[in-house]
């Protein structure tokens, strides 16, 4: 992947080496509040809104795009919020190597890369392997929130989630276009401005599930993790 790289020196930016030294993300916050993860935070507008609403929770925003990480850090600093940290890291790599079992209260994935062409669809983040990893990392009743503007991604994610008996739906239908008070990200706003509906899926992990440790199977972008760490 070629991208313009800028050194990020923000105090809210956590290089992987620092996380490794700290031993856990919880150790990097000054409290034991529940932790939520936003995957692919873009420029950080969603994470600031959700963290502002929940000062009693900690948030980790991640992206693999250096310029997005830089903008997210600036946004977090400007907000004055102390309950958000940012990392430039691949989602499954972070979840598998650093987060682990029952570590997350919520996962947010907003407008992930859609990979619209039929032959690219296997690159999509949300698939059965990802759900296994997400369930492993989520606590009892932890939330998986996913939204996209791509109809077939929205429909297939909703089908996968609604047919997985380990999840409970927060809505009456497998997906909804009614966003309620769900915070709006940059990409969501872009599509709403074009009158394109957003497909929102909000599911809970059922309580008292026995979830086996997942394997980190091959997946698109995991090579990125290998090359960048
Ligand atoms: C289409 S953008 C959406 C950004 C933001 N969520 C929004 O709604 O405005 C998708 C973002 O996900 C990031 N991304 C894609 N795959 C990722 C992965 N495996 N781990 C972490 N970030 C990823 C991309 O770099 C990009 O910034």
Tens-digit pLDDT profile for residues 113-154: 999 999 999 999 999 999 999 999 999 999 999 999 999 999
Instruction: Name residue, tokens 């690219």.
Output: 120
190-226 pLDDT per residue, tens: 999 999 999 999 999 999 999 998 888 777 677 766 6
For the CA of 114, the nearest atom of ligand 1: 1
- Between 1-15, 85-99, 175-189, the lowest mean confidence (pLDDT) is in 1-15
For the CA of 65, the nearest atom of ligand 1: 25
pLDDT of residue 229: 58
Domain boundaries, the chain: 32-228
| DSSP state letters, the chain | ----------TTB--HHHHHHHSSSGGGSSS---EEEEES-TTSHHHHHHHHH-TTSEEEEEES-HHHHHHHHHHHHHHT-SSEEEEE--HHHHIIIII-TT-EEEEEEES-----SGGGGGG-S-SHHHHHHHHHHEEEEEEEEEEES-HHHHHHHHHHHHT-TTEEESSSSSSBS--TTPPP-HHHHHHHHTTPPPEEEEEEEPTT---PPPP----TTHHHHHHH-
69 within ligand 1 shell (Cβ under 6 A): no
- Considering the domain delimited by 32-228, tell me its CATH architecture: 3-Layer(aba) Sandwich (3.40)
143 within ligand 1 shell (Cβ under 6 A): no
149 belongs to the catalytic site: no
pTM of the model: 0.96
By most ligand atoms within 8 Å of CB, the mutation choice from 5, 40, 89, 191 for ligand 1 is 40
């Amino acid at each position: 992947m070629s991208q313009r790289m800028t050194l990020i020196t923000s105090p809210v930016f956590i290089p992987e080496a620092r996380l490794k030294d700290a031993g856990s993300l919880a150790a990097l916050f000054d409290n034991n509040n529940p932790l939520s993860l936003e995957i692919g935070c873009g420029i950080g507008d969603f994470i600031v809104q959700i963290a502002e609403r929940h000062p009693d929770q900690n948030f980790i925003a991640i992206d693999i795009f250096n310029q997005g990480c830089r903008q997210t850090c600036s946004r977090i600093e400007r907000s004055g919020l102390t309950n958000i940290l940012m990392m430039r890291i691949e989602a499954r790599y972070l979840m598998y190597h650093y987060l682990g079992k029952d570590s997350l209260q919520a996962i947010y994935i907003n407008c992930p890369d859609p990979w619209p062409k039929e032959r690219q669809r296997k690159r999509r983040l949300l698939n059965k392997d990802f759900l296994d990893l997400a369930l492993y990392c989520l606590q009892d009743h932890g939330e998986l929130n996913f939204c996209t503007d791509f109809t077939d991604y929205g429909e297939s994610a909703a089908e996968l989630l609604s047919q997985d008996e380990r999840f409970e739906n927060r809505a009456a239908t497998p997906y909804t276009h009614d966003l309620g008070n769900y915070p709006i990200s940059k990409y969501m706003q872009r599509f709403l401005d074009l009158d394109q509906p957003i497909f929102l899926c909000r599911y809970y992990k059922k309580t008292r599930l026995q979830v086996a440790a997942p394997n980190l199977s091959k997946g698109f972008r995991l090579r990125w993790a290998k090359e960048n760490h």
